């Protein structure tokens, strides 16, 4: 009898993890109606974020339902001594837990660029309610990085990622790293196809956030699961995630997250002297990241998002 029962229980567990309620469906017909446009810059980037009317007027955003995507770009035709015009959108709806999916065909890349798709707690000072970075890196990076931030002092710095056979990513910070204002765990996807670059075909990024764990996946365009395409996403069938972390320490305080997509330049990460001069491979182009972004508008023609949808599912 036990040999019959175990497969049944396993199948029941898989079904139980399915997500059935679509609570956010930002698509080419209505995409920007789901988002607020933020115009301040919290990461000291060399950027000028635009309001929705100004972004539309400048051609930085476009909804193209006839072609199945939305466009979010940056100014790539004028000098920008006060910061390059760009867009940062944050979802009007706030979320605590869920399955977050970004279906994207193109993302910003190149020297000076710092693109991101992420969530954070909007209603309290950062990072009290946490932050989850799903896509993020700088300059000519080849691999996607994913990071979880919580407040320092919430615990004794005990982020514990899953065993290596339970996640494919490698952690730059094996447990966590303390900053003045936050502690964080950073993970890198070992696949170069995980981050946008010339010839990239895109795909689907997924982040599952429950009261027990945070997990992430990236599916290249040719490997997107059928259940995602059919609108019945079931993470239990997706295989080993890139990142898997049990919810503990400050993570149990994470709530009320907005979904963010933005493109900034230089700033606290990409603008660091040692990163610009040594790690990026861009240092020969200009003395500083800011100088390069200011004086080379034509270099940012590829600094755009081409997005099919952003979806958030609940169980």
249 domain residue, yes or no: yes
In a 13 Å sphere around the CA of 110, the CA atoms on its Cβ side amount to 22
9 domain residue, yes or no: no
Cα 119 to Cα 192: distance, rounded to the nearest angstrom: 23
User: Which DSSP string corresponds to 163-223?
Assistant: PGGG-S-EESSSS-EE-SS-EEEEEE-S-GGGS--TT---EEEEEEE-SSEEEEEEEEGGG
Closest CA to 305 of 30, 41, 74: 74
280 domain residue, yes or no: yes
Cα 275 to Cα 237: distance, rounded to the nearest angstrom: 39
The H-or-E segment that residue 63 falls in is strand 61-64
String of b and e for 117-131 (b: at least 16 CB within 10 Å)? bbbbbbeeeebbbbb
Q: Return the bridge partners of 62, or none.
A: 71
Q: What is the pLDDT of residue 156?
A: 52
Q: Which residues are catalytic?
A: 131, 136
pLDDT, one tens digit per residue, over 82-118 is 999 999 999 999 999 999 999 999 999 999 999 999 9
End-to-end CA distance of the chain, in Å? 31
Q: What is the pLDDT of residue 157?
A: 53
Tokens representing residue 209 in the block: 């956030």
Q: Return the bridge partners of 235, or none.
A: none
Q: What is the pLDDT of residue 152?
A: 75
What is the DSSP pairing of strand 113-121 with strand 88-91? unpaired
3-state SS assignment for residue 253: helix
| Residue-number span of the structural domain to which 255 is assigned | 20-314
Tokens representing residue 191 in the block: 């696949």
Cα 314 to Cα 23: distance, rounded to the nearest angstrom: 7
Closest CA to 135 of 213, 66, 62, 188: 188
Which regions of the chain are under pLDDT 50?
Answer: 1-15
256 domain residue, yes or no: yes
| Widest Cα–Cα separation across the chain | 74
CATH of the domain at 232: 2.60.120.200
Rg, C-alpha atoms of the chain? 20
3-state SS assignment for residue 90: strand
3-state SS assignment for residue 98: strand
* Domains of the chain: total: 1
6 domain residue, yes or no: no
């Amino acid at each position: 009898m036990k040999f019959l029962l175990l497969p049944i229980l396993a199948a029941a567990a898989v079904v139980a993890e399915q997500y059935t309620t679509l609570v956010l469906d930002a698509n080419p017909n209505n995409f920007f109606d789901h988002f607020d446009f933020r115009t301040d810059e919290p990461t000291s980037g060399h950027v000028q974020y635009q309001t929705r009317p100004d972004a539309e007027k400048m051609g930085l955003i476009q909804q193209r339902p006839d072609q199945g995507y939305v466009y979010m770009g940056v100014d790539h035709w004028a000098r920008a001594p006060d910061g390059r015009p760009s867009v940062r959108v944050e979802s009007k709806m706030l979320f605590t837990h869920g399955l977050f999916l970004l279906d994207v065909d193109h993302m910003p890349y190149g020297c000076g660029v710092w693109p991101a798709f992420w969530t954070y707690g909007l209603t309290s000072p950062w990072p009290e309610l946490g932050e989850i970075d799903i896509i993020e890196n700088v300059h000519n990076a080849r691999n996607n990085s994913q990071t979880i931030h919580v407040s320092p002092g919430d615990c004794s710095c005990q982020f514990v990622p899953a065993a290596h056979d339970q996640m494919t990513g490698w952690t730059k910070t094996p447990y966590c790293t303390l900053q003045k204002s936050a502690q964080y765990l950073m993970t890198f996807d070992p696949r170069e196809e995980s981050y946008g670059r010339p010839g990239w075909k895109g795909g689907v990024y997924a982040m599952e956030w429950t009261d027990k764990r945070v997990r992430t996946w990236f599916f290249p365009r040719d490997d997107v699961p059928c259940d995602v395409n059919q609108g019945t996403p079931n993470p239990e069938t997706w295989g080993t995630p890139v990142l898997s972390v049990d919810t503990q320490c400050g993570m149990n305080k994470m709530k009320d997250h907005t979904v963010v997509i933005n493109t900034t330049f230089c700033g606290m990460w990409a603008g660091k002297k040692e990163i610009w001069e040594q790690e990026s491979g861009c240092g020969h182009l200009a003395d500083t990241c800011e100088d390069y972004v200011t004086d080379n508008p034509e270099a940012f023609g590829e600094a755009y998002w081409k997005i099919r949808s952003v979806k958030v599912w609940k169980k």
